[in-house]
Amino acid sequence: MPEKKRIKNLSTRWLKPFKVLAIGIYVTFCLMLLWMVLQEPGLKNIIFSLLQFGIYFYGGYFLIRMSAKLYHVEFDDEFLYVLSRKQDLIIPLENIRSVEISTLGGTYKVNLFNPEQLGAEFYFKPSLLYPLNYKIKDATVNLLRRNIDLAKRKQTKLPANALMS
């Protein structure tokens, strides 16, 4: 029986502090912007500041939504392991449609063929210092992509007495 390869970690260990800090900085920034709106005299300045606050609030909504779908991810030759506080998921590599980078900060998006409990897509962040150590992290993500391609090429053999429905 061939020996299974070791599980490789894809996510940074500082993921939880990163999520808390990113949301904390965003909330602080919005409160500071709102305080500046209330300090400005005149209707023209208030309307402009409220419009600016609305744009930042809308952009922050997507930041919070993406950080809510940011998970700790590991993989081996057959499965992708998504570790969360409530429940860990094991996703077969055949179910993964693509792994692509979605932000300049190094957040990767995993698209699935069949939606799991996480939905049709989820995100992982290999490193907080991504632009500085991209060669190492991209090599690990490319290994995952290679394993996905190999898993898709492998034919699942059904037993001769399996019931087809």
- List pLDDT tens digits, range 18-62: 888 888 888 888 888 778 777 767 777 777 777 887 888 888 888
pLDDT in tens, 97-129: 999 999 888 899 999 999 988 889 999 999 988
Please give the model's pTM, rounded to 2 decimal places: 0.76
Q: What is the chain's mean pLDDT, rounded?
A: 85
Confidence of residue 3 (pLDDT cuts 50, 70, 90): low
CA separation, residue 62 to residues 33, 57, 59, 89 (Å) = 18, 9, 6, 24
Determine the residue type at 156.
T
Question: What are the structural domain ranges in the chain?
Answer: 15-68, 72-153
Q: Which CATH class is domain 72-153?
A: mainly beta
pLDDT exceeds 90 at position 163: no
Measured CA angle at 95 (ends 120, 1), to 5 deg: 150
